[in-house]
Each structure stands twice: as C-alpha cells, then as structure tokens.
Amino acid sequence: MIDVPRPDPDTIARADRALVRTVDALSDAQYAEPSQLPGWTRAHVVAHLTLNAEGLAGVLHGAHVGHPQPMYASPERRDADIEELAAAAPAELRDRFLASTALFGEALAAMHEQDWEGRFERTPGGPDFALHNVVLMRLREVEIHHADLGCGYTADDWPEDFRVILLESMTKRPYPAPFDVRPTDLDRAWHYGPPLENDDGGTVPVITGTSAALGWWLTGRGSGEGLTSDTHELPEVESW
C-alpha cells in the first residue's frame, strides 16, 4: 500500500526531462558499463525504465477507456523482456526509451479525474494497486533509477519536493523494527515501522543525515554513508 497524494504532473514531467537528457547523452559504450545496481548494466536500467513506462501507460490507457489491464503479463515475462531489450543495439534502446517516455506522458494527459478511481494489477492475479498511485510509482522509478545509472546524477540532485515524497512514501513499507528519521535539511521527521503504542511507549533509533542520503539508504542503496544513528547502528531496510 502506497496511498500518498498523487504528485503534480509537472513533477513527473520535470523528472522525465532530466532523465531524457542523461540517457540521450550516453555513448554507445556506456550502455554496456555497470550501473549502480548489482548485476545490471546501464542498458538494463534503461530497458527497465522503458518497459515500466510502457506498462504504466497501458494501465492508464486501460483505465481511461474502461478496459483495465495489468502492468506486466507475468513476473517471468517482465524479467525476460528486460534482458532482451537490454541486449538491443544502443540506438534501438535509446529510441524505444524516448518513445516510451512520450507514451506515458500522453496516457497521463488523457486521464480524466474519474478515470483515477479503481485499482490495477501489476501482473494477472498478483497484488493490486490504486490507480492514483501510478504517477508516484513512475516518479520514483524515474528519479531513483536516474541516480542508479551512475552518470553524474545522484540522490543529491533529487529536487526537494521529490525527497519529501520519497521519505513519506517509504513509510508505507514494512520494516522489522521501528525507527525515526530526521533530515538535517528539512524541518520534518518521519516514523517507519509499527507505530508506538503511546507517547511514553519507549524510544526508537533516530537516524539523521541529509534527506538525499536518507532516501538513498531507505531504498536499500549504499551502506548509510553520511548517516548517523543514536544507537550507533542503522536499522535493517530492504532494497526497493
């Protein structure tokens, strides 16, 4: 369950433009180089972003015309499609990525307010999600994987509104034990994991650092560089 307010369309458009500039500037040789994600080249990241845009565009179009459709045919098909597209020639992958970004933008622009009611499946018979979460899902994919490309754009480049959105949305994930985060550059704090029973129900670890460093760590990236914990240990988090 994500269930946070839908980001403004301008927010995802801004993120898309920045990502397009980075991908469009990649040399052919850079596609085959390792990304920040274990086992994935930059081509894998671009392929994933491409198929994600196509899948979510299909979800939006299905909602708009009244014929709901899942995002992917199956988990296995999703993984196989990423591998296949990542092996394509860089020019072919680049063109399909650019087309997928435009396709998602067109599908988003076509949505009417009533189209956002209801839910969709990630794969047939799998978990379902509220349609109003689609923009948030795409925004996180674009911003986080943009940094995963390892081409100069990092978590420190994430706009402040996205950092707030990310820290808020990550509270909806399960965690083995509760903890709080207090960004040094934002006048807010967030609680993660099970809620405390009452105000004096005990203390939880407090993690501090910049909102970018906290967001990077909360998605399972890095090893907590730049973060401090009042217990001297960082809580366990899963990769996003």
Q: Are 141 and 52 in contact (CB under 8 A)?
A: yes
A 10 A CB-CB count for 93 gives 22
A 10 A CB-CB count for 133 gives 19
Ranges of beta strands (E only) in 114-240 are: 119-121, 128-130, 179-183, 190-192, 206-209, 228-229
**CATH: 1.10.287.3510, 3.30.2290.10, 1.10.420.10, 1.20.120.450. Which one for 9-153?**
1.20.120.450
Length of the chain: 240
| pLDDT value of position 181 | 98
- The tens place of each residue's pLDDT in the chain, 240 residues long, gives 556 678 888 899 999 999 999 999 999 999 999 999 999 999 999 999 999 999 999 999 999 999 999 999 999 999 999 999 999 999 999 999 999 999 999 999 999 999 999 999 999 999 999 999 999 999 999 999 999 999 999 999 999 999 999 999 999 999 999 999 999 999 999 999 988 765 545 689 999 999 999 999 999 999 999 999 999 999 999 988
Structure tokens at 177: 């034990």
Domains of the chain, residue spans? 9-153, 171-229
Q: Are 215 and 170 in contact (CB under 8 A)?
A: yes
